[in-house]
């Protein structure tokens, strides 16, 4: 029979060896390129944030960080791939609210949004913008409400995917104005916005970063309102939906880095620290604000708490909207 003290000593020794190995791995990492999985198509909000994040981390660590686009199923494909990847620090994901806080409410997903990921840090947040094609006779939100009500059940709107925030925001908007329209899902907001721009669909709730290039006028799009609680500095002339008559209407998203569960905590802290330090730099922050997002940063614990808090909030939004897995 093993003596209790000897057993305790053995356990303590094994834990010490494991900790030392983890710290050594974190100190040596990265020894090869690191991929950042992007849940959406190239050119969209998440893709732009991921590529800026990859550049920031490449500069911080002196190794290449590469954005790897894996669109489909509103990010569920990318999230499953990340969850099943080796927890060695060489696979990260630029997660957004839909993958971790919305998809599980839409139906069964092949991962646990809390247990299967190690949160690193929120990178950036941003609201959405109600945009319409210029052929729509609506100069403001009130005009748009009248138009949609007059054509209730006849219109369609573009979304970045079933259950995406662009989808839920539109569904909530329609519910508030007591009208109906058909959702058309794309593999990301960028291709959805492209079809609105081309006049294939009349409207959508687009990410701020994707709508900004069309704010100056002269394009096929009109920017009618933002979904934030207050007006956006980059769009001072565009009102909020709340001040346009839909009191209390607010919707937005975050993008943040996550790693597969069981990635060494020392490595997670190292990545988070480098990211936080970079985002505090005015030059780096300016690169993010230029694409229409607010740089955030923060600790792994803070990001984990945000995910836990958002899960029930968005589950309620899914219930109200009637969205479900297709």
Instruction: Report how far residue 134's alpha carbon sits from residue 198's, in angstroms, rounded to the nearest whole number.
Output: 10
Residue 92's pLDDT is 98
Residue 18's pLDDT is 47
Report the percentage of the chain scoring pLDDT > 70: 91
The distance from CA 308 to its chain's CA centroid, rounded to whole angstroms, is 15
**pLDDT of 21 higher than 80:** no
**pLDDT of 284 higher than 70:** yes
Residue 217's pLDDT is 74
Instruction: Report how far residue 181's alpha carbon sits from residue 207's, in angstroms, rounded to the nearest whole number.
Output: 20
Instruction: Report how far residue 48's alpha carbon sits from residue 324's, in angstroms, rounded to the nearest whole number.
Output: 28
Higher model confidence: residue 49 or residue 188? Answer: 49
- From residue 28, alpha-carbon distances to 63, 65, 148, 250 in Å are 12, 16, 58, 44
Average per-residue pLDDT for the chain: 91
CA atoms within 13 A on the CB side of 121: 23
pLDDT one-digit tens code per residue, 52-77: 999 999 999 999 999 999 998 889 99
**pLDDT of 186 higher than 50:** yes
**pLDDT of 20 higher than 50:** no
- Name residues whose C-beta falls within 8 Å of residue 75's C-beta, 6 or more positions apart in sequence: 39, 40, 95, 96, 98, 99, 103, 161
Window from 114-118, 222-226, 310-314 with minimum mean pLDDT = 310-314
**Cα–Cα nearest to 269, from 308, 301, 240:** 301
**pLDDT of 195 higher than 70:** yes
pLDDT one-digit tens code per residue, 288-300: 988 889 999 999 9
Q: How confident is the model at residue 14 (pLDDT cuts 50, 70, 90)?
A: low
Window from 21-25, 28-32, 118-122 with minimum mean pLDDT = 21-25
Quick check: 220 and 133 in contact, CB under 8 A?
A: yes
Residue 13's pLDDT is 56
Count of other CB atoms within 10 angstroms of residue 66:
13
């Amino acid at each position: 029979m093993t003596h209790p003290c000897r057993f305790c000593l053995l356990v303590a020794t094994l834990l010490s060896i494991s900790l030392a190995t983890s710290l050594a791995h974190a100190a040596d990492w990265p020894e090869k390129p690191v991929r950042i999985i992007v849940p959406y198509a190239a050119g969209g909000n998440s893709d732009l944030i991921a590529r800026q994040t990859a550049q920031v981390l490449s500069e911080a660590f002196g190794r290449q960080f590469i954005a790897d686009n894996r669109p489909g199923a509103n990010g569920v494909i990318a999230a499953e791939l990340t969850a099943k990847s080796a927890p060695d620090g060489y696979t990260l994901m630029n997660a957004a609210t839909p993958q971790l806080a919305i998809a599980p409410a839409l139906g069964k997903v092949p991962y646990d949004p809390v247990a299967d990921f190690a949160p690193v840090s929120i990178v950036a947040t941003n609201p959405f913008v109600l945009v319409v094609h210029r052929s729509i006779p609506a100069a403001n939100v009130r005009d748009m409400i009248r138009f949609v009500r007059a054509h209730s059940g006849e219109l369609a709107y573009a979304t970045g995917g079933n259950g995406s925030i662009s989808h839920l925001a539109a569904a909530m908007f329609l519910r508030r104005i007591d009208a109906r329209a058909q959702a058309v899902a794309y593999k990301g907001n960028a291709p959805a916005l492209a079809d609105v721009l081309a006049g294939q669909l009349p409207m959508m709730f687009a990410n701020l970063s994707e709508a900004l290039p069309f704010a100056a006028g002269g394009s096929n799009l009109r920017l009618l309102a933002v979904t934030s609680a207050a007006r956006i500095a980059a769009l001072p002339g565009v009102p909020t939906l709340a001040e346009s008559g839909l009191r209390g209407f607010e919707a937005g998203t975050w993008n943040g880095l996550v790693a597969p569960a069981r990635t060494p905590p020392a490595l997670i802290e190292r990545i988070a620290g480098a990211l936080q330090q970079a985002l505090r730099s005015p030059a780096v922050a300016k690169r993010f604000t230029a694409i229409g997002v607010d740089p955030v940063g923060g600790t792994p614990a803070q990001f984990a708490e945000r995910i836990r808090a958002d899960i029930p909030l968005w589950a309620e939004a899914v219930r109200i909207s009637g969205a479900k897995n297709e």
